[in-house]
Structure formats: C-alpha cells, structure tokens
Amino acid sequence: MWNSRALLRLLSLLRYLLLFHSVLPLVSAQGSNTTSWNTLSGSPPLVIARGGFSGIYPDSSDIAYSLAAQTSLANVILWCDVQLTKDREGICIPDIKLENATDIGHVSEFKSKTYSVNGVQTSGYFSVDYTLKELLSNVVLIQGDYTRTNRFDGSDFPILTVNELVRRETPNPSGLWLNIQHDVFYAQHNLSMKNFVLSVSRTVNVSYISSPEAGFLRSLRALVKPSKTKLVFRFLEKDKVDPSTNQTYGSLLKNLTSIKTFASGILVPKEYIWPVDPTSLYLLPHTSLVSDAHKVGLEVFASDFMNDISISYNYSYDPVAEYLNFIDNGNFSVDGVLSDFPLTSSEAIDCFAHIGLNAPKQVNTLIISKYGASGDYPPCTDLSYGKAISDGVDVLDCPVQMSKDGIPFCLSSIDLIESTNVAQSSFSRLGKTIPEIKSGNGIFTFDLAWNDIKSLSRKSNALMLNPHSMNNLYRNPEYNKKGQYLTLSDFLNLTKAHTSTLSVVIIIENAAYLARKQNLSVTDAVIDTLSRAGYDKPGAPKVMIQSTNSSVLLKFKEKAKYELVYKIDEIVGGAVDSAISNIKRFAHSVVVKKASVYPVSELFAIGSTKIVSKFKSSNLSVYVETFSNEFVSQDWDFMSDAYVEINTFVQDAEIDGVITDFPKTANRYRRNKCLNLGEKTPAYMEPVAVGGLLQAMDKSLLPPAMAPAPPLTEDEVTEPPLPPLSKIAPSSPISGTQAGAQPPHNAQAQVTVCFFLSTLTVLVASFLF
C-alpha cells in the first residue's frame, strides 16, 4: 500500500534503528528499584510515550514509537491518538486536523473542508473524508511542532493504523494507550469509535483507553474488562466543556466520586497538580488533587511533559527536577506521566528518584562551576557561589578582574556592561573601545576603583546572565539584580572555610594588556592573595590556575605549585604532537569546548574527534565547557536532556570534568542509581550514538556538511613572556568618587572577611535546608 519512495525510506530507517539499538541495549534497571512509592498501587509510576518519542521524530511515526520502546522503561506505554477514516479504520494521528501532523495540505487532490467540532466551526483536512488507502498512498507524517526540527520530514513516514503499530512492535510489544478525543464528532459522521475500540480490543491488548468525553467512557464501561483495559477520563482546560455532558471540566473535577463510577483513573494537565503563576512563572503550592483522587480509588496521570518548552523557573530548566516534583516530593506521586521525551521520564523514575545530593558518587567526574551557579543567580556573586557550594560543586571558579586601584576580584567579564547595570549609572561616560580586549564598546573594570564596582552590586546592579534570551529563555528573574561581588580574598576565605575538599580555579585573562597599558600585574596580585590566604601552605585546598595564555601559566610555574590549566578557546579538531608537547611544558590539564569533542552542524552532532583521548594519552586531564540545562544549549542528539549530554561526554568521550553553570544537575547525574551497572545498564543511561540521527534523514535535508575544524598548532600555543609593568603613573580617581586603597597585609581585609564569612555561612545554610 506504500509507494516505492516510502519503502526506500523505511529501509534506511531500519538501518538506523539497527545502529541505534547496537548502542542502546534492551535492558531496564526497573527491577532493581525496590523503594515504595506514593502511587495508588505502590508501584513505580508509568511512562506513557505520547506518539512515541515525539519530541524528536514526527508524532505517531514508526521510528518515534520504536525509539520510545528502545530507550524507555521496559513497561513503557505507547500512546496513540485515534482518528477514524471514511472506511472505519483507526489511525494514529495526534490532531483531528490532519495538516497539523501530515503533509496533506501539500497534496493537490485533497481539499480543505469546514465542520463543526465540539460546536466550533473548524476548517482543515479531516480523516472522515478519506479512505485508508487514499491516505497511505498520498500522505506522510511530518513534524507538527514548528519549534522542533523538520529535518526528518522528507523521510516519508507512513501513517500507522492501530493494528500496524502493534504488529511493528512485535515480538516485544509495549503497552498500548488509545486516546479517543472526538467521539461526538465522528458520531456526527456515522462513524462509531465505540465499535472500533471493541473490534480492535479483540485482537490487540489495549492497556488504557482515555477520552475527554464522559459519555464515551460510560458507553464502554460494561463492555471492557477492567483487569485488561483501564478507562481514564481526560480533563482539558477547566473552562472548556465536555460535549457529552455540557459541563465544564472545572465543575467535573469537583465530583471525583462520580468519575469513579465509569473510570479507574484521570488524566490531567500537570498544572492541575502543581499550578504555575501565569505572570511570574514560579510554582504555586500544589493542590490536593492527587491525594483526593487516590482516596476515592482513582489513579492520576499527568500530561504535558516536554523537555523543549519553558517550565517553571523553580526547576532551573531541568525536566528531571520537574518529574521528581510529581513523583518524589515526599507527599504524593502521580501514577504515570504523559511525555514527548519518554527517555527523560524513564531516567527520572528509575535512576534519580529516591536519591539525594549526598548519595554515593557513581563516577568521579569533576564538577567545575561556571561563575558559580550562574544558571540560578547573578554570576560571581555571593548568591551564585553559595548555591554552587550547596549543589555539590568540586571546584569553585573565580575569573579574576582588576580594579583601577589594583584589587583583584571575581567577575565574569572584564567589561562591566556584560554583568552589571553600569551603563545606566554615572560611570556610563567611561565607555570606550579596546580592540585588543573585545570588539565594540565597553566599560572596563580597570577604569573604576573597587569601592565603585562594589557599589554597583549594592545598588542592585548585578545582572543575571541570559545566554539564551534570543530564544525567550530567561534565568530566575526574581533574583536578577541581587547578590554582592567578592574580592579574591573574600572568595578564597569562603572556600577555605567551607570544606577542605572544595577546590578553586582562578581564571586569568588579559594579563599582558593590563601590565602593558594599565600598570597592573594580575598574576602578582593573584599569587600574593593566594599566599596571604594560606593557599600555598601544606594541607590547603587545591588551587587551579586557568588561562588561554601560556605566558600566564609559565609565570605561575616559576613561582608556585598549583595545577595549571590551559584553555583552548577556539573550536579545534585535534592537536598536533608538537602543540601537545608545548602545552605539557606549562600545564597539567586543558579545557576544550563541547564542539571540539563532538563537531556540530545546525545543532546536529556530525561525528566525534580524538581530541580527548589524545590529550589524556599525554597525561593531560580534559575538562569540557559549557554544560547548561536549557534545551537549546544541547544538540538534538542528546534529546533535549542535560543528563543524556553529560552522560555521553563522560561515558563515551571519557572526559575528566564538566564546567557548568548548573552544578546541581551534574552532581545529581554522577550520583544516579543507573551508573556502573555493566551489562544491566538501562538504555536511558547509555551514551547516545553520536551522529546517529543523521541516518534517519533524507539526504536532501541533511544539515550542511562542515569542513573539519583545524588542529591546534604549536604556533598557536607559543607566546612571548608577559611584558613588564608600564611606567605610566596610575590614573587619578574619577571625579566625584573616592578610590579604594589597597589594604595592607593582614589588616583591613581580615575584618571584612570575618563579617563576610558569618553572613555567607547563613546563606549557604539557607540553600541546604
């Protein structure tokens, strides 16, 4: 019934699935989880894959269902939105308007029509107007969500009937969930959803049947066996009306006992359980719905889980954290979740539930902060550092900048415009262009005294970093313009006082410019401050010095014994032997970008390099940056899941450390229960087949071919020594301000630190409890 082009595409898809399955074995760790659950049955929650793995592939396509079955819990339930054709065949398509999930709108012989759907005149292409043969011969599935990639749309995914879906999943069939959204509409066209469901149930094991129409479920109640098939009433938005009862879903929600007379469970939007303030996007207190439903014997399933949408700021863009709030909050657990990304819900249930941040580490991957926990708080402030410590970071970072009066302090950029509101202050007139440092205008730290810079944070001018604002993804706005900046001395005393296992990395850039043009030696300032804080004494916390400049690291090698980290700030495809030999003269480890490990074209990984193994074979540790929670920061290959990305870099590339602005996510990853299980490792905790998604694409839709990135050469590593300080006299204080004086050794700085540490202790404690 398929055309030849479709068959060729399916053969290509089969080859891809074989590749994918070779990397993701069919094993589930579900059996190892003996913890009791607050579900109605006491069993772990179910994962229901909406249209298969519809977050990646077209909803209800064969490959979407196959990927869901292969990468989810062994008892995953496959969801099919049933539509009926003119000849009474049931097909899986997510929307009653076929053009929202297929290419039917581009087929000239098919015409749009207008029908009444739940009392609303609706124009579109409807399955009631076509036979199954007409649809299979002319129409294919496409991605209906325009925020997701459309590069699989040319692969000619055929529409599946319910029977065909089950046949294709044999011999390892998953449970099947049929959702009947529009029984009343089909009845108006002399098509019976009830007859179809009863007919298919004779040959197919249907685990669940859901509908937002109470009348439809009542008509089935006496005709299905509850031990075999459960009926679930689906709630829509509270102000919408059930066409079979003419009652709003809000009013139906008030009488759960009545629903129990015809259903064994309810399916509700997740906001019914954990409402989100529509203005602030922060969570409101949870409702009592789950507990109330469980009291009358109803299971509760929650819907609308997706990795690639904005979720409440409380979750820090971590979908696993959201799932855990529904299944492992200490009060209740839903009985199942309906997800477009069933891999993520599977790992949340099986790997991350019922563990804490103090669970034993399963891998020793180093967690290095990026400006503290800058995904949650303004970078390099007391808030972001306190959060990173409570989140379990191993190495706390301080990018050192220099003030006009020679005080080293922590700030994410030498340009104050990037992390403060300085451009709206009286210092806006200090803007200038320094091509040696950056393109464009800036207001630079070395033009303001420390007291002036400190006043910027005191006046609520510390800004959140929002690297994905172009995608309308913003970080924790409630804490924008909050937090205080720290001197390097304050930073070191904070880390030293907290725990002996907390290391620090001091990041130094622009040292040559500061010495030559500003008469400031950032290297001497760091060495001196480290010494005064006792970091050069035996038993002191570990210190790492990071720079993109070999001249900086060579100077530290001459004067101190710290771990020296060379950052390669461009994307490289490898490194020539002479460059590696040169790096070993002055560094113990390197920092590389993610794309240097897995090259990328338009957010698709196109392969891997040998850069990590080559550095490690030369006894250089490899740290990779930057790992973030926002789904737009991850390649499509990682399923919009930060844990999948980290796991692949750790298990496949074998990196030594992750640099992240969300250290809580990385710390949660390395403590999850699904690591180190050997052959019993579940598919959702296996590294992905990097570049595997390309195998499922039509060649005409492949992302642009990219020339390999050039290797790092010795000339790029070699630099002249740092210049001596300039002979220019320090600039006079800015008019109307008082330049802060450099405190004498062991003098005023100690008083400041005592006060600072007492307040930071309270701050860190607040994060922990």
pLDDT, averaged in runs of 10, over the chain (769 residues): 42 41 36 72 98 98 96 97 98 98 95 96 98 97 95 95 89 86 97 97 94 98 95 97 96 97 98 97 98 98 97 98 97 98 98 90 97 98 96 97 98 95 92 94 96 79 91 96 95 84 96 97 97 91 96 94 96 97 97 98 96 98 98 97 98 98 98 96 96 94 93 96 78 38 34 39 44
Specify whether the CB–CB gap between 78 and 64 falls below 8 A. Answer: no
Residue type, 654: E
Six token digits for residue 205: 């094991």
Strands (E), 69-125: 77-84, 90-92, 113-117, 120-124
- Angle, nearest 10°, between helix axes 522-532 and 511-518? 110
Nearest to residue 739, comparing CAs of 529, 450, 465, 483?
A: 450
What is the model's pLDDT at position 34? 53
Q: Rounded to whole angstroms, how far apart are CA atoms 464 and 383?
A: 11
Going by their DSSP bridges, the two strands 175-179 and 208-211 should be labelled as parallel
Specify whether the CB–CB gap between 105 and 123 falls below 8 A. Answer: no
Residue 504 pairs in a beta bridge with 396, 543
* Phi, psi angle pair for 614, to nearest 5°: -70, -45
Q: Rounded to whole angstroms, how far apart are CA atoms 559 and 553?
A: 10
Six token digits for residue 148: 């997701």
What is the model's pLDDT at position 768? 42
What is the chain's Cα-based Rg?
29
Apex 270 CA angle, 630 and 239, nearest 5: 125
Apex 30 CA angle, 26 and 31, nearest 5: 105
Q: Rounded to whole angstroms, how far apart are CA atoms 93 and 478?
A: 40
Q: Rounded to whole angstroms, how far apart are CA atoms 681 and 658?
A: 22
What is the model's pLDDT at position 726? 83
Indicate the helix (H) or strand (E) that contains 663.
helix 663-670
Cα atoms in the Cβ-side hemisphere of radius 13 Å centred on 409: 30
pTM: 0.91
What is the model's pLDDT at position 497? 79
Q: Which long-range contacts (CB under 8 A, 24 or more apart) does 684-687 make?
A: 684/71, 684/72, 684/73, 684/343, 684/344, 684/346, 684/347, 684/350, 684/351, 685/29, 685/347, 685/351, 685/647, 686/23, 686/24, 686/25, 686/647, 686/651, 687/23, 687/647, 687/648, 687/651, 687/652
Strands (E), 577-656: 589-593, 600-601, 604-605, 621-627
What is the model's pLDDT at position 22? 35
Q: Does residue 626 have a cis bond before it (omega within 30 degrees)?
A: yes
What is the model's pLDDT at position 14? 43
Nearest to residue 344, comparing CAs of 323, 325, 330, 363?
A: 323
What is the model's pLDDT at position 461? 72
The single residue listed with the structure tokens 């011969």 is 137
